[in-house]
Amino acid sequence: MSELNLKGKTVLVTGGGGFLGSHLVELLKKEKLGKLIVPRSADLDLRKEKTNKELFKDVDVVIHLAANVGGIGYNQEHPAELFYDNLLMGVHAMHEAYKAGVKKFVALGTICAYPKYTPVPFSEEDLWNGYPEETNAPYGLAKKMQLVQSQAYRDQYGFNSIFLLPTNLYGPGDNFDPNSSHVIPALIRKFVEAKKAKAEEVVVWGTGAPTREFLYVEDAARGILLATKRYDKPEPVNLGSSFEISIAELSHLIGDIVGFQGKIRFDVTKPDGQPRRKIDTSRAREELGFVSEVKFEEGLKKTVEWYEKK
């Protein structure tokens, strides 16, 4: 397995100040890079072509993590923004990186790009066999266009761009804002606040029946770094843990870790989202040598501890 040596290289990480990006940046700092560039969204609008033209000069590797992203409620309230922002950020970033002569571009997709009723476990070959779950579709399809662009630029220009599909991430530093957080941070916050308030119950969206696969953020960062070094093919690659848990089981587990003593009630008037999510991780294992290391309950405890110390 040939490997890209990052020593002395200039690496740019969009979204490097975010949840996943901050963990990846810490790994990259150990790689003896020539230069590590982490632009901040407060200073640069990646949706604008002009911004991207100036950003990628003299850069060897781009890892594009920047995204406008949230949970089911956020997706329902901001579908147009999610489509527009993520499409433009991806299209401009890759195009300008190609024009600037970047040697490698790593694009991150999302599990939301898969069809609503994908056979479980989700194989990369099934990515185009149906429409995404409705609440995720604008975000998922905008991100999936990066795969189309990546393969098209490889075909026409010989541009070395790869596309990764991480499953749901969690861990210390996650977004716990109730207006935009994903399921694990949202539930942790609910249970911690309920415990403090000595509430009798916690209300969880949906039926509790859907399942999800979760990948600890440090594992995800390691997988991205391995792909950056080892993968140079047009086919997408799933990054996951091969662990599946129902929302009901997850809710009870978080409640137990937090020490919540009350009842859990499922609000069936709220959407469930995709029925099941569990991905086939064999390509990542074979091509990258990547296998997740952090056990789910261990990672969950670390995440709860981090939030409680905030």
User: Among all residues, which ones are annotated catalytic?
Assistant: 139
* Cβ atoms within 10 Å of 142's Cβ, excluding its own: 25
β-partners of residue 295 are: none
Are the beta carbons of 210 and 247 closer than 8 angstroms?
A: yes
Q: How far is CA 33 from CA 11, 61, 105, in A?
A: 7, 11, 16
Indicate if the alpha-carbon torsion angle 137, 140, 143, 144 is positive or negative: negative
| Cis before 234? omega within 30 | no
Are the beta carbons of 63 and 24 closer than 8 angstroms?
A: yes
> H-type helices in 158-267, by residue range?
183-197, 217-230, 247-258
Nearest residue to 250 (alpha-carbon basis) of 296, 196, 218: 296
DSSP 107: E
CA of residue 139 relative to chain centroid, distance: 12
CA of residue 267 relative to chain centroid, distance: 26
Nearest residue to 237 (alpha-carbon basis) of 217, 212, 220, 214: 220
SS3 162: strand
Distance CA(301)–CA(304), nearest Å, equals 5
- Strand-by-strand arrangement of the 244-246 sheet: 168-170, 211-216, 244-246
In the numeric block, the tokens 């009842």 are attached to 263
Single-letter residue type at 236: P
